[in-house]
A = this chain, B = another copy of it.
Amino acid sequence: MSFPKDPSFRNDLRQRGYRLTPQRERILRYFAEIPVGTHLSAEELYQRLLEEEKISLATAYRTLKLLASMGLLRELDFAEGHKHYELNTNQESPHQHIICTSCGLTIEFLGGKLFETGQQIARKYEFEIIDVQFKIFGLCPACQPPPKKR
């Protein structure tokens, strides 16, 4: 995709009655410029954008949510208390995650046929699919055996 002039992005916004603002363009472009699979929290995004020109944290939250609802971003929840977002590349098999519940380490791996499996199930229940997430929670090598207390 080419940002910020990606036509589909503009059309997507218009078709839903939303406006193309510098902030929205900026945020989507930022995700397109960083390595694929980089996932950021609203706060992290806000901090990184501060270096150039400021976008309020509230707008960051609003925009992330909007872009995710449009399917342009993937909203990820690693059960850490805050959400993460990454560019949704719309590929047939998005990568998935294995997360260490002790130290928070997350590793991504290729989804293989998982997305296809999800599509079949979604079809069965007549859902219009937005995202398929396969998550493995566990303890990474460094965190085994688990500490007695946390």
Q: Which residues of A contact B (CB under 8 A)?
A: 16-17, 69, 75, 77, 79, 83, 98, 100-101, 107, 109, 114, 117-118, 121-122, 124-141, 144-146, 148-150
Structural contact, A149 and B77, CB atoms closer than 8 A: no
Structural contact, B137 and A134, CB atoms closer than 8 A: no
Structural contact, A135 and B138, CB atoms closer than 8 A: no
Question: Complex formed: what's the CA distance from A133 to B96 in Å?
Answer: 11
Q: List residues of chain B with CB within 8 A of the CB of A139.
A: 127-128, 130
Structural contact, B137 and A125, CB atoms closer than 8 A: no
Q: List residues of chain B with CB within 8 A of the CB of A122.
A: 98, 136, 138
Q: List residues of chain B with CB within 8 A of the CB of A136.
A: 118, 121-122, 127, 129, 131-133
Question: Complex formed: what's the CA distance from A86 to B78 in Å?
Answer: 18
Structural contact, A138 and B133, CB atoms closer than 8 A: no
Q: List residues of chain B with CB within 8 A of the CB of A150.
A: 69
Structural contact, A131 and B137, CB atoms closer than 8 A: yes
Given contacts A129-B136, A148-B16, contact A79 B75 (CB under 8 A): yes
Q: A17-B149, A127-B140 are in contact. List 10 more A-B contacts (CB 8 A).
A: A98-B127, A109-B121, A122-B136, A126-B140, A127-B138, A128-B138, A130-B137, A130-B139, A132-B136, A133-B135
Q: List residues of chain B with CB within 8 A of the CB of A129.
A: 136-138
